């Protein structure tokens, strides 16, 4: 039986000896590195690293690794670090409104086993996608939202997510702007898909704006949600060509194809513990 692997995601002030210290730690305890990637932002003098190693024969019990790493390496270099094990299954909540294309795309990946993730619940401000949730056997929670009830409903949503031990949230074309209250409960843990190549066409009706401007490409951008609308750290982006024959509804149709792919790509990176956020930007280790 495989002992699985462990993945460390690290950021800290840059200095000599960081890679040596981390890899020495792994080697001393008989770990075999599977993947290692690092990056130094020379301007900001910040060091980033992702390392994954095979736990077979590793000399430290799984539960003791955090303490051991923190004491011998992490603290010494003032590292921010997180440790994940490959056999842990992260818990994700899906938020949707009325459009189903991203929802189906995500659920079919989950059902086929493409993604190792648990989806304990789907949340929506409309009831129309409940049958989809039902067909995949996932509990569906409807929260009607108005300007008056938003704060209260968000509190209820947060409670619900906490009760289900949800670790991160995917907004799969959820057409509500989240308040700081909700965003603060899941910092850099809410992944949105916006239907434009940000920073162009932030805000409402980007396809209308793209059509009016006469662009020859339309895009989709997946990013972590921050207090600034459509201005959070970008995880993934893609575009497709359009031309003068395309009406706004053609842009909507064509755009949905990249919306679902770009969102899936961002969630995949997140699930693989490949994303670090700093300076409102991301490091995405490939």
Select the residue interacting with a copy of itself from 68, 91, 111, 164 (CB under 8 A): 111
**What totals of helices (H) and strands (E) does the chain contain, helices first?**
8, 13
C-alpha span between 46 and 170 (Å, rounded) = 28
Give, as ranges, the residues between 168 and 227 that touch a copy of itself (CB under 8 A).
197-201, 213-217, 219
> Quick check: 165 binds a copy of itself (CB under 8 A)?
no
Please tell me which residue in 230, 238, 246, 250 is annotated as part of the active site. Answer: 230
> What's the min distance (Å) between Cβ of 277 and a copy of itself?
10
- Provide CB contacts within 8 A for 229, sequence distance 6+: 177, 202, 203
Question: Rounded to 5 degrees, what are φ and ψ at 275?
Answer: -115, 125
> What's the min distance (Å) between Cβ of 128 and a copy of itself?
11
- Three-state DSSP at 195 gives coil
Q: Indicate if 230 belongs to the active site.
A: yes
> Quick check: 228 binds a copy of itself (CB under 8 A)?
no
> What's the min distance (Å) between Cβ of 161 and a copy of itself?
26
Give, as ranges, the residues between 51 and 70 that touch a copy of itself (CB under 8 A).
none
Question: Rounded to 5 degrees, what are φ and ψ at 94?
Answer: -105, 130
The piece of 66-74, 111-119, 141-149, 166-174 that touches a copy of itself (CB under 8 A) is 111-119
> Could you tell me if 154 and 179 are in contact, meaning their C-beta atoms sit under 8 angstroms apart?
yes
Cis previous bond, 199, omega within 30: yes
Give how far Cα 196 sits from Cα of 111, 149, 219, Å: 28, 29, 4
Residues in touch with a copy of itself (CB under 8 A): 15-20, 23-24, 26-27, 30-43, 48, 99-101, 104-105, 108-109, 111-112, 114, 135, 197-201, 213-217, 219, 233-239, 243-245, 247, 253, 256-257, 261, 264, 279-284, 286
């Amino acid at each position: 039986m495989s002992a699985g692997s462990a993945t460390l995601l690290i950021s800290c002030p840059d200095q000599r000896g960081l890679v040596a210290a981390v890899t020495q730690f792994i080697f001393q305890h008989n770990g075999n590195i599977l993947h290692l990637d690092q990056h130094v932002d020379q301007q900001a003098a910040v060091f980033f690293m992702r390392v994954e190693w095979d736990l077979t024969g590793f000399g430290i019990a799984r539960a003791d690794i955090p303490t051991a790493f923190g004491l011998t390496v992490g603290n010494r270099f003032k590292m921010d670090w997180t440790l994940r094990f490959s056999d842990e299954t992260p818990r994700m909540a899906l938020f949707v409104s009325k459009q189903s294309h991203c929802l189906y795309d995500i659920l079919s990946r989950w059902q086929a086993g493409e993604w190792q993730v648990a989806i304990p619940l789907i949340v929506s401000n409309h009831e129309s996608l409940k049958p989809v949730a039902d067909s995949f056997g996932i509990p569906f929670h409807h929260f009607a939202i108005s300007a008056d009830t938003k704060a209260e409903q968000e509190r209820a949503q947060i409670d619900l997510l906490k009760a289900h031990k949800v670790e991160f949230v995917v907004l799969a074309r959820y057409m509500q702007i989240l308040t700081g209250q909700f965003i603060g409960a899941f910092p850099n843990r809410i992944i949105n898909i916006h239907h434009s190549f940000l920073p162009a066409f932030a805000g409402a009706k980007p396809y209308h704006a793209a059509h009016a401007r006469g662009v020859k490409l339309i895009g989709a951008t997946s990013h972590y949600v921050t207090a600034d609308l459509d201005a959070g750290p970008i995880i993934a982006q893609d575009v497709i060509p359009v031309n003068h024959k395309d009406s706004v509804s053609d842009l909507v149709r064509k755009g949905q194809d990249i919306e679902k792919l770009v969102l899936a790509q961002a969630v995949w990176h997140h699930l693989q513990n490949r994303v670090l956020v700093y300076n409102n930007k991301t490091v995405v280790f490939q």
